[in-house]
Structure 1
Amino acid sequence: MSRPEQEAAVRQIMERAPAPVPPDLCTQAVHRGERLLRRRQLVHRVLWLLAWTAAVAFGVWAARVHPWAQPPSQTTPPITGW
């Protein structure tokens, strides 16, 4: 398609009547935005709750198991009979 043909095609498209817009488009967009915002807030709350639960569970586990303490050595037998 040559340049003049492209320009003619563009002019024809632009001269057409605009597509009809639904009268309740704005309200639909607002409702959808509110729904997406509520869903996003719920996901964030659930993720924060999950992170908090994991932190508490790790704290309880660490307090009971003491993973920072070294286990007793098993390489040397106990000395008896001195």
Structure 2
Amino acid sequence: MIRPEREAAVRRLMEAVPVGVPPELPGEAVRRGARLLRLRRAGRRLLWLVLCAAAAAFLTWAALTRPWAEPPSLTTPPVSGW
């Protein structure tokens, strides 16, 4: 479609009588939007809760097992009786 044809098509659309919106549509859109916001908020809270629980579990495990400490040597027996 060339430019004059597009402009004419747009003018016809703009001059046409606007289609009416059903009266229940805005209220339904508001309800759906509110429900989506609640679900997203609940999802974010759940993810933060899982993240905090994972961090607490990791810190507890690290404090009990101390993975940064060098394990005792098992290849040589302790020297005694010198």
TM-score (norm 2): 0.77
Residue type of the alignment partner of 2:62: A
What stretches of structure 2 of length at least 5 have no aligned partner?
none
Q: Distance in 2 between matches of 1:6 and 1:79?
A: 95
* Unaligned ranges ≥5, structure 1: none
CA RMSD of aligned residues (A): 2.1
How far 1:78 sits from its partner (Å)? 3.5
Q: What is the Cα deviation at residue 10 of structure 1?
A: 2.2
Q: Which segment is superposed worse, 32-41 or 17-26? A: 17-26
How far apart are residue 80 of structure 1 and its match?
A: 4.6
Partners of 1:72 and 1:79 in 2: CA distance? 14
Deviation by residue 1:19-75 (Cα, 9 ceiling, x = unmatched): 221112221121011101110111111111101111111122112101121112346
TM-score with structure 1 setting the length:
0.77
Aligned to 2:32: 32
- Percent identity between matched residues is 59
